[in-house]
Structure formats: structure tokens, C-alpha cells
Amino acid sequence: MPLDAYSDQSLSRRAMKAELLDAETELELAYAWRDRRDEAALHRLVTAYMRLAISMAAKFKRYGAPMNDLIQEAGLGLMKAADKFDPDRGVRFSTYAVWWIKASIQDYVMRNWSMVRTGSTSSQKSLFFNMRRVQARLEREAAAAGETLDRHQLRQMIATEVGVPLHDVEMMEGRLAGSDYSLNATQSTEEEGREWIDTLEDDSQQAAETIQHQHDTETLRNWLVDAMSGLNQREQFIVRERKLREAPRTLESLGQELGLSKERVRQLEAAAFAKMRKSLETQSREVLEFLG
């Protein structure tokens, strides 16, 4: 059953009731999954460490994401860890899984922080999850020492502390301070105010382009109809089934219907295309490209 079928509380209760694996049992399950793709072993391994995933998910609640979604992402990270875990390396699965669980949750939080992607480089990710904490600590330490930090000094200290360039701190500060706005919001408080979406350039086809496209499409269709009329009934059927269907049929399925071998259908198809090329060779390069 998928994780979203449970509430936060029921997931936590189920996880707390799961067995605790000793190192030997954990190793046996890991080998069973890696070497034999034993799904029962994988399920048992993942279930046993789901409490770890839930515990880590809870640490990211302050970013505003639903707890159930965080748990699902943590569970996905746990399953990725189980799939990639190499028991020959001599480390406990929980030690290895922590990194996969954390990465999965962090990626989810950053994807959903804003409709505009916040960033995905290592420095941006480090800033996103540490900047506010580091900033608060630096401000507390400055206040305790009777000092006042201006914005530039604070940004520079954050950059040094986190180990990222100053411009990354400035960029992330602006992104975290902003919020998403609807394009349907008006630019002024007046009822007749223009919406922001009205200021965007319309990149759809203009009327002249639409008419030209319709004309070209109709011309192409007429050329194809003329070329098809030069084929016999069986050739027309093969061309329609192979080129004009939304889901083209295979040579084998056509052979079964027509009572022919797959190779014979291919020969008939090639002969039909050759006839059509000859009919169309002076009319349109587009049609020749369509015929392949």
C-alpha cells in the first residue's frame, strides 16, 4: 500500500512497531536483495528503518511542507538506499541510508519552496538549509559582544561561515525573502486595473501564421491524396496502417491480417512508397521527408 494511504500518526505507529534488526540479520537481508532480488527481504529491510526516515522527515517540518509528503520523500530515499547498498563495504545500512534520505527530503523541499526553482547546486543547497540558522547565530554573538552588523558585513560573514561566494548569499537572501504572486493580480488597487499577465508578450501564432499553416496543411493533404490514388487497394491499406495511424502497426501484425510474411509486407510497403515518391518528386520536399 502506498505511503499516502496512511496518516502521519498511523505511519509513525506502524514504524515504531517494526522489528529492530541486528547487524547479522541486516546483512543477510541486504545480500538477499542484492544477489537474488528477494522483494520480501527488501520490504523487511525498508520497513525496519522506516522509523529512521520518519524521524529525519520531522526535522524539515519548519519549511512548511506537509508532513505526510516529507515522509513519502524520506521513504523514497530509504528505498533508493536499499537498492544501492553494498553489504560488502562493511558499514551498517542505517549509516548509509541517512545520506539518501536526507538528499531526497532536501530535494523535495527545494522543489516546493517556490513555484520558481530556488536552486540545485551544492552551494545553493547548503545556503538554503543553513543560512537562516547561521545568520541568527552571528546576530546573537554580535549582540552579546555589543556590536552591530550591517547587511554587507552579515552577508560576508555568512559566506565565510558556509563556505560559498558572497554573490550566492545575496541571491539566496533575495529568493528566501520573496514570495510567489499570481499573474492574475492587478497592478493597482483600482477595480479596472490591468492584470500582470496582460503585460506578457503573446508568443502564440498570429492570424497570418495560422492561415498560412492551414493552407500548407491542406496542400500537403491534397498531394498525399493524389499520390495514394495511384496505389492499389492493398498498397493503400499498408500505407495507411503504417504511416497514417496515430499508433502505426507493425509489419508482423499486418502480415498476419493479410496472410503474408513480414518480409513480403515490407517489400509491398517499399514498392508503395516508391510509387508515391515518383508521383511527388516534383511537388514538395516535405512530402518526401514524410515518406522517409
217-239 pLDDT, tens digit per residue, is 777 777 777 778 888 889 888 88
C-alpha closest to that of 276 among 248, 219, 235, 218: 235
How far is residue 97's CA from residue 102's CA, in Å, rounded to a whole number?
Answer: 9
- The per-residue pLDDT for 20 is 87
What's the mean pLDDT in 82-98? 90
Q: Higher-confidence residue: 32 or 230? A: 32
Cα separation, 267 vs 260, in Å, equals 11
Is there a contact between 228 and 239 (Cβ–Cβ < 8 Å)?
Answer: yes
DSSP label of 60: T
Please give the DSSP secondary-structure letter assigned to residue 89: G
Report which DSSP code applies to 61: G
Joined together, the cell numbers standing for residue 286 give 516535405
247 phi, psi to nearest 5 deg: -120, 95
* Cα 132 to Cα 145: distance, rounded to the nearest angstrom: 20
Q: What nine digits make up the cell of 284?
A: 514538395
Percent of the chain at pLDDT > 90 equals 16
pLDDT tens per residue, range 243-265: 877 788 898 888 898 899 989 98
**Residue 101 main-chain phi, psi, to 5 deg:** -65, -45
Cell of 260: 503474408
Q: Is residue 71 scored above 80 in pLDDT?
A: yes
The model's pLDDT over 110-159, given as tens digits with 9 standing for 90+, comes to: 777 554 444 556 666 666 767 778 888 888 888 888 888 888 888 888 88
For residue range 165-200, what is the model confidence (pLDDT) as tens digits?
A: 887 777 767 566 544 445 555 555 555 556 655 555
pTM: 0.43
pLDDT band at 40 (very low <50, low <70, confident <90, very high): very high
What SS3 state is found at 186? Answer: strand
Of 209, 257, 215, the closest CA to residue 237 belongs to 257
